[in-house]
Amino acid sequence: MAVSPIDTRYKTEMNSLFEEQNKLALWMRVEVALARAHEKLGHIDSGSADEIEFASKKVELARVLEIENEIHHDLMAMVKALTEKCSKYGGHVHLGATSYDIEDTALALQLRDAGGLLRSRLEQVLDILASLAKEKKNLVCVGRTHGQHAVPTTYGMKFALYYDSLKRNLRRLDDSISQISYGKMSGAVGTMATFGDDAFQIEKLVMEELALKPAPIACQVISRDRHAHLLFTLALISASIEQIAKEIRNLSRNEILEVAEGFSKKQVGSSTMPQKRNPHKSERLCSLARLVRSNVSVALENISLEHERDLTNSANERFIISDSFIVCDYMLLQLHKILSELEFFPENIEKNLKLSNGAIMAERIMIKLSEKGMGRQEAHELMRESAKEAFVKKVHLKEILKFNSASKFLNESELDLLFDEKTYTGKADDIVKRVIGDD
């Protein structure tokens, strides 16, 4: 029975890339590539690589695990199991290699595949954010800073901002995939001593077959800054997801209720409060983002291995890499679902826009007073005092300005125009087009 929720609740297509069966297949794929390189260089008999490849298709995970239980070495267990299935050339398996020539090169293949899947998820979320930004580019709402009403903005701006953030993360992911797409075939401490004079050629041939780049230098392992870079990118993606999820949570509060997660017909919000419509999917994303971020600190610790390598990275990498990828994949899938089903409440968006009794337009009127001849600082102070007075008296700000020094510069009809929130969104429409495109 599964213990980890990534095998049940948060399981995605990504899981299959990190299952033991796939890892074993990748290890043997590298072994076959190594045999082919030796064969091309005349180090082993012709036909050796084909036999090893054919044998690899007959190796069973159960047998590998059985051998590992006896010898306590997972990679060597695979080598022994693969050798068993070879009829003639078993002695050519793993020739000249150390364990992490195989493991780290296979890991690069695994992470490249995982990164590619994650990239496709990101593109799907980007598509729906772009659609929402265009669809809602003229939906004016109140902007909030420090949790307080600031000046008007648009929902198009909100979604374009998130699009821009995830677009940067897509570029970061591409760079991280490139940085991790390196293998090694350099022996126990990186000197290539076991491969003799043809060492560089062996490594080149192996990496060409696997479509990887050879690491320019390695010790027993590929330098772990590459892996930390990748996990940090996943953390950035999860943080951007959390930014969106947190905004949805806040905007779905009863007092605000401008948007809400989709709520299915039979969905239950609380076991005791039947009326609840909790933003639990968004809350879940915020929770999982903490997990992905926490794994970065472990990945950073793995960089400073002792001498030419110790084993302190190995055990934790069995958790942090697969967990980060699977959780991040789940988060992107869930975010796409949330955004696809997001419900808007235009009447509440309009109500909140008017909630401050015109105070959110104080900046605009300050600027207009300055244009009319009042000093900027004087205008700022006038609007500050006027806003305070309107708040205390619970009246619209215009009612205060009609009877103080602002009236010397602005008549009532001018004030009416200045208090139209929908005409004070600046270049919001153009900014959305600049970010998303104008199609």
Residue 439 scores a pLDDT above 70:
no
The token duo for 429 is 């429409």
Q: Which domain, by its residues, includes 409?
A: 359-418
Cα 282 from Cα 243, distance rounded (Å): 10
Given this model, what pLDDT does residue 417 score?
Answer: 96
Of 60, 95, 130, the one marking the end of a domain is: 95
pLDDT in tens, 104-155: 999 999 999 999 999 999 999 999 999 999 999 999 999 999 999 999 999 9
Of 64, 95, 126, the one marking the end of a domain is: 95
pLDDT in tens, 335-374: 999 999 999 999 999 999 999 999 999 999 999 999 999 9
Region 223-229: what's the mean pLDDT? 98
Instruction: Return the CATH number at 377.
Output: 1.10.40.30
**Within-domain flag for 433:** no
Cα 334 from Cα 25, distance rounded (Å): 30
Catalytic residues: 146, 270
Cα angle vertex 101, ends 192, 105, to 5°?
A: 130
Q: How many angstroms separate the Cα of 26 from the Cα of each of 29, 219, 437?
A: 5, 21, 41
Given this model, what pLDDT does residue 11 score?
Answer: 96
Region 271-276: what's the mean pLDDT? 76
For tokens 């690491």, name the residue: 215
> From its phi and psi, is residue 32 left (phi > 0), alpha (psi between -120 and 50) or beta?
alpha
Cα 300 from Cα 303, distance rounded (Å): 6
pLDDT in tens, 298-348: 999 999 999 999 999 999 999 999 999 999 999 999 999 999 999 999 999
Given this model, what pLDDT does residue 1 score?
Answer: 74
CB-CB neighbours of 19 under 10 Å: 13
Query: pTM (2 decimals)?
Result: 0.95
pLDDT in tens, 72-113: 999 999 999 999 999 999 999 999 999 999 999 999 999 999
**What is the β-pairing status of strands 259-260 and 343-344?**
antiparallel
**Within-domain flag for 163:** no
pLDDT exceeding 70 applies to what percent of the chain? 100
Residues 6+ apart with CB under 8 A from 155: 132, 136, 137, 139, 141, 344, 349
Of 62, 95, 128, the one marking the end of a domain is: 95
Q: How many angstroms separate the Cα of 102 from the Cα of each of 26, 99, 184, 188, 312?
A: 9, 6, 8, 11, 18
